[in-house]
Structure formats: C-alpha cells, structure tokens
Structure 1
Amino acid sequence: MPGRVVALLVEEGQEVESGDGLVVLEAMKMENEIRAETAGVVRKILVSEGQAVEGGDPLFEIG
C-alpha cells in the first residue's frame, strides 16, 4: 500500500530492540508506527521524511 514517511524515530548507528518504533508512515489518512522485527543496530536509513513509499520498499538496514 502506498504511503508517505511522516517521521523517522531512529538515527543511523542507534541500537534498537525488537518492538522499538522506527518510523511513522501515513497511508489512507492514518498514521502507523513501524516497529523493529529484531534487535540490532540501524546501519542505514533508506528513506527521508516526506518521501513516498510503496508496500515492500526497504526502509532501513538493521544488522
């Protein structure tokens, strides 16, 4: 489902735990917080605030 990045909640190099919020996306006039599936370090942020995204687009690299 297409959407738009409203807010980035993490920075590159930040450690995250499973369930931590990563980004807020707006789709169909609703805001949804996307959470980390696994613990790790945010290696790279692949999107920016205001950017349009499609379902399945990679948003982060976490390792």
Structure 2
Amino acid sequence: MKNSGNDIFARAEKINEGIQKAIRKMIEREAALNGNLVIGDEHGFKTVPAKDVLRELNEEAAKKA
C-alpha cells in the first residue's frame, strides 16, 4: 500500500495538531496549579511560571484571530 505525499502531509498535520493540544493542556494544568515549566533554547534552560507561558499563548492566539 503506497502513501501519497498528500496523505503523509495530512497525517503529519494531524499528529502536529495533537501534540500542540497536549502541550497546551499541560501548560493549562500547570498554570492552574501555580506550577512552573522548564523552557530550553539555544541559550540553555530556565524555569518559567506556567501562567506566564499561558498568557503569552493566549495573546498570540488573539493576534491570529
């Protein structure tokens, strides 16, 4: 059974959407518990309040809408 490029792309998009939903749910749960998240980038790792991350996500979503 061969998969076309479009099928693979559609599956990858669905996987990505599922991952994004899971990450948001984790952030929302940690924010509700006044928890922190460990964020890493090219400069290293740092601990950030989940409420701050959630606020930024909501601001970005509002800009896109």
Larger relative strand fraction: 1
Same fold by TM-score, threshold 0.5 exceeded? no
TM-score between the two structures when normalised by the length of structure 2: 0.26
- Structure possessing the higher radius of gyration over alpha carbons: 2
Q: What is the TM-score normalised by the length of structure 1?
A: 0.26
